Every structure is written in C-alpha cells, then in structure tokens.
C-alpha cells in the first residue's frame, strides 16, 4: 500500500509538466511527419495505425504511435507515447523519459527501467484518475480541464461520425471551399463571428425577434460544428498525404484531423488561436457553401482571341 501511495503521489505531482511535455512532443512529431524505421539509431519514430518495435540493442530518441502498439526491447532516450493502443516494455527495455498510454494498457517486464513518469489512462481507470484529480487542490485543476477537454473531444467525435456518415458530400464540399477559397471563406467566417452578437441584440428589439434568438444560436452552433468537422477532414486528408497514404475513407481522415486539432489545442499561447482559426474558417466555408449544399463556381478565365 505504501509503495502504491508513493507512486500515485509521484504521478499526480508530475502531471502538469508531463501533460505539457507530451502534447509538445506529439505536436512536433505530427507537424514534421517523421516516420523513420524503429531499427535506425537516434531517430524519432512516428506511426499512424502501425505497430512499432524497438529491437534489442536499438536506440531511438522518441516513439509515438496513434492506434499502434509500441514494443520496446532496446533503449528510448526520450518519451514513449501511445494513443489508442498499448505499450509493452520487455525486461531489457530502458526508457529515459516518460511513458504515456492513452486508451491502452502498459505491460512492463520485471527488469524494465523507466526513468521518467508513467501515465496510463484507459476505460478501466478513468474514474480513479478523475477521483484523484478532484481530491487534490490547485495542482490537479489543470487535469480537470484536460478531462473536460477529452469529454468535449469525444462528444464532437461522436457527432462528427454521424455527420460524416450521413452527409459526406456536404463535408467534402465545405472542405473543398476551405482549400480553394481560403482567404474568402476566412473573411466570411470573421464576418459571421462578428455579427452574431449584434444580430442577437437587434432581435431583442421585437417580441418576435426574442423568440428567434434561440434559433440563431442553434444555427451558429450547427454551422460552426459542421465547419470545424470539415476542416478536420481536410487536415486529416493532408496528414495522410504527408504520410504517403492518400485516398483514405473520409471517416478516417476526419478522425485523425480531429485528433490533431485537439492535440494542437493544448499548445501554450497559440493552441487556442489555431482552434479559433479553424472554427472561423469552417464557419465561413459553411456560409459560403450554404451548409455544403452549394458549390460556388469560379469564373472562367478570359482567353484572348
């Protein structure tokens, strides 16, 4: 019992720093698109939907997988991060940084050495994590926001799955507008966000307008959510192209786009701005394409005869 309490205290005290380190490491890997082989020395390994094995005697800097298992038989100089799958540390494994397992389990051999912190969050212990966080004072409040962020993420993910399955054509139309008319739809989005409050104030002038205020809010939320999902799909599409795996299903592209935006949102100072920009661009594209039902045609170029 004493050893478990010491381990729990150590995990909780290092959660804030660990969260920042984990997010920054994941974002750097996603942006750079590194996908080196696990047998190469002094490399950073990043895989999507694939397992990674660090062989015995091998040495890498960091290992990050999304929906892929990590097996370590050698040495990892930095962090080991698995999102949506598990981490296996053999008895000869050496991890000099942190081990983070989100949505999977950690299997640790008797002789495995982890010099940093270990964080394991999955369906079996999420309630315990929440209880520990809420029982702490200010030190744990950042994790309250992290759990709140996760809740929002999974809620948006469920809605995104339904929308993408029901109206995939509209999502692609909105995403295409974001890519082809970036400046124009950004201005439309900025205009839409600026006019939300003045329009609500104008509606309060009349009795009928007051009744319409909830309708306005519903339309704005739906438009923003639809646009944000379309931007996520576009981001996921480019992410797969970066990894040289084009022509993926729209649902898969949307999922990984949402994951990237959620991770980027944790970046200090600029994370929230990137999310707001994505929301603004999505809103503008929804307005510009009339909720994805209209594909604006570009004027034909003038050809001199």
Q: Which of 91, 50, 92, 88 is nearest to 75 (CA)?
A: 92
Which pLDDT does position 135 carry in this prediction?
53
Predicted model pTM: 0.56
What are the residue boundaries of the structural domains of the chain, listed by start? 2-136, 144-288
Instruction: State the Cα–Cα distance between residues 164 and 166, nearest whole angstrom.
Output: 6
Which pLDDT does position 31 carry in this prediction?
45
**In the numeric block, which tokens belong to residue 15?**
């959660």
- pLDDT level of residue 10 (50, 70, 90 thresholds): very low
Which pLDDT does position 12 carry in this prediction?
45
Distance in Å from the first CA to the final CA of the chain: 87
What phi, psi does 289 have (nearest 5°)? Answer: -100, 5
Instruction: State the Cα–Cα distance between residues 58 and 39, nearest whole angstrom.
Output: 6
pLDDT at 51 over 60: yes
**Pairwise pLDDT comparison (36 vs 70), residue with the higher score:** 70
Which pLDDT does position 96 carry in this prediction?
92
Which pLDDT does position 73 carry in this prediction?
94
Instruction: State the Cα–Cα distance between residues 10 and 7, nearest whole angstrom.
Output: 5
pLDDT at 38 over 50: no
Burial class (CB in 10 A: 0-12, 13-18, 19+), 262: buried
Which pLDDT does position 138 carry in this prediction?
42
**In the numeric block, which tokens belong to residue 59?**
């040495």
Angle between helices 141-166 and 15-32 in degrees, nearest 10: 40
pLDDT digits (tens, 9 = 90+) for 137-155: 444 445 556 667 778 888 8
Could you tell me the CA-to-CA distances from 11 to 121, 145, 227 in Å, in that order? 12, 17, 38
**Pairwise pLDDT comparison (289 vs 133), residue with the higher score:** 289
pLDDT digits (tens, 9 = 90+) for 171-209: 999 999 999 988 999 999 999 888 888 887 887 777 676
pLDDT at 28 over 70: no
- pLDDT level of residue 226 (50, 70, 90 thresholds): very high
Computed over every residue of the chain, the mean pLDDT equals 78
Instruction: State the Cα–Cα distance between residues 260 and 271, nearest whole angstrom.
Output: 11
């Amino acid at each position: 019992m004493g050893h478990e309490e010491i381990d729990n205290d150590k995990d909780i005290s290092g959660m804030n720093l660990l969260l920042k380190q984990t997010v920054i490491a994941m974002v750097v890997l996603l942006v750079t698109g590194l996908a080196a082989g696990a047998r190469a020395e002094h490399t950073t390994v990043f895989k999507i939907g694939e397992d990674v094995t660090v062989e015995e005697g091998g040495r890498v800097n960091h290992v990050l997988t999304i929906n892929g298992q990590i097996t370590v038989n050698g040495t990892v100089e930095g962090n080991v991060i698995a999102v949506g799958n598990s981490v296996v540390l053999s008895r000869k494994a050496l991890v000099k940084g942190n081990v983070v397992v989100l949505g999977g389990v950690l299997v640790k051999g008797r002789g495995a050495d982890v010099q940093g912190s270990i964080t394991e969050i999955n369906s079996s212990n999420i309630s315990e994590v929440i209880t520990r966080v809420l029982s702490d004072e200010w030190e744990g409040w950042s994790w309250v926001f992290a759990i709140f962020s996760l809740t929002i993420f999974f809620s948006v993910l469920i809605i995104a799955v339904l929308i993408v399955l029901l109206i995939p054509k509209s999502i692609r139309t909105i995403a295409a507008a974001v890519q082809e008319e970036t400046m124009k739809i950004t201005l439309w989005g900025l205009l839409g966000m600026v006019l939300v409050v003045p329009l609500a104030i104008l509606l309060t002038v009349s009795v009928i307008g007051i009744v319409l205020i909830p309708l306005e809010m519903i339309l704005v939320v739906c438009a923003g959510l639809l646009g944000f999902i379309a931007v996520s799909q576009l981001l996921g599409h480019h992410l797969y192209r970066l990894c040289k795996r084009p022509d993926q299903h729209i649902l898969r592209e949307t999922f990984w786009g949402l994951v990237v935006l959620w991770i980027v949102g944790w970046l200090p100072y600029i994370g929230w701005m990137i999310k707001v920009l994505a929301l603004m661009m999505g809103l503008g594209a929804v307005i510009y394409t009339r909720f994805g039902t209209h594909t604006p045609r570009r004027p034909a170029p003038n050809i001199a005869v």
